[in-house]
Amino acid sequence: MGYQILGKRGISQLMEVLCTVFQIFGVILIITLPWTLNYYLLLKNTTVEPRIYNSMIVLLVISGVCAFTILMQAKKVLHNINSKSPFTFDTANRIKYISYLCLPIAFAYIIGIFFIPSVFVVLVGLTFLFLAACIFIIAELFYQAVNYKQENDLTI
């Protein structure tokens, strides 16, 4: 028994639905962020000074808004894949946009090291910077695939 990866009954359809679910949870988390962060710090029995707390809120809001938009774009890319039209300029543009959306997260965390002294903050920033570059390369590959597809369509 094999699993179908692409199409209406494939894993990509499940991923499209999960994008919506994660967007809903993301909105709830962003709206309740001050209370959620306070609860988390209470559970860890940790207190932080107000400057660090405010920096954490700013970083998490920037991350949350960018992640929400990334999920929206990913959902549309998955929709294109599921509707059997993955190699279009629309898909390539959305993937490139996702790479651009990784940059604010990266820069926010890299700047955040000055406010939240943690190696984790630097690692998240560098990870998103690396991710932005990788996704940008994938977007360029999609542009080339679209061009090859158009050339192929014209020759047939």
Question: pLDDT tens digits for 44-79?
Answer: 888 888 899 999 999 999 999 999 999 999 999 999
| Cα–Cα dist 139/116, whole Å | 33
| Cα–Cα dist 78/4, whole Å | 14
CA distances from 82 to 1, 74, 139 (A): 21, 12, 18
Residue 27 lies in a domain: yes
Residue 5 lies in a domain: no
Cβ partners under 8 Å of residue 153, min gap 6:
none
In the block, residue with structure tokens 């926010």: 108
Residue 4 lies in a domain: no
Residue 16 lies in a domain: yes
pLDDT at 54: 92
Angle between helices 11-31 and 33-43 (to 10 degrees): 90
Question: pLDDT tens digits for 99-143?
Answer: 999 999 999 999 999 999 889 999 999 999 999 999 999 999 999
Range of the domain at 46: 11-155
Q: How many domains, in total, are found in the chain? A: 1
Whole-model pTM?
A: 0.89
